Amino acid sequence: MIALSRFISEAGITATAERAGNNPHMISSTPMHHWRVTLRIGRSRMLVPFSKGLGHKCAEPTADEVLECLAADSSSVESAEDFAEWCREFGYEDSDRSARRTYAQCQKQAMRLREFLGDSDYETLLWDTQV
């Protein structure tokens, strides 16, 4: 296992964030601070909407925070055999359209993360890092 911060450093990943009015992937009335985060490795980049609760006092998200969340979401769809299994894991009904949208977004995000990192670093992030 490798520490997430070490993985980020060795991969050369940086993050910048700017405030956003909302997170297009969140359907919640809970007040939050929304960000548009740009992850970079050299000239490659990945844009990610990211939200943090008000208790974080509007602190800009770090690469560690964003990648930890991306890894958790991505590993959830990678480890599930299908949508029904994913639903059972998270307590959703497989007839729930909102759950279907969340699952589809996690799949899309996992694909984008794999493209951004490359296969080897993607696998390392998901299965061989710890916070």
What confidence tens digit (pLDDT) does each residue in 35-87 have? 999 999 999 999 999 998 877 777 899 999 999 999 999 999 999 999 999 99
Helix 119-128 to helix 97-117 angle (10° resolution) is 120
What is the reported pTM?
0.91
Instruction: Report the alpha-carbon distance of residue 35 to residue 18 in Å, rounded.
Output: 6
Residue with tokens 């602190």: 59
**Mean pLDDT, all residues of the chain:** 93
Residue with tokens 């977004």: 105
- For residue 44, what pLDDT is reported? 95
- For residue 62, what pLDDT is reported? 95
In this prediction, residue 28 has a pLDDT band, given cuts at 50, 70 and 90, of low
* Number of structural domains in the chain: 1
Q: Is residue 131, in this structure, part of any structural domain at all?
A: no
Section 96-107 average pLDDT: 93
- For residue 9, what pLDDT is reported? 97
Q: Is residue 14, in this structure, part of any structural domain at all?
A: yes
Q: Is residue 104, in this structure, part of any structural domain at all?
A: yes
Range of the domain at 81: 2-126
- For residue 59, what pLDDT is reported? 86
Q: Is residue 110, in this structure, part of any structural domain at all?
A: yes
Which letter, b or e, does each residue of 77-90 get, where b requires 16 or more Cβ atoms within 10 Å of its Cβ? bbebeebeebbeee
Residue with tokens 């894991």: 89
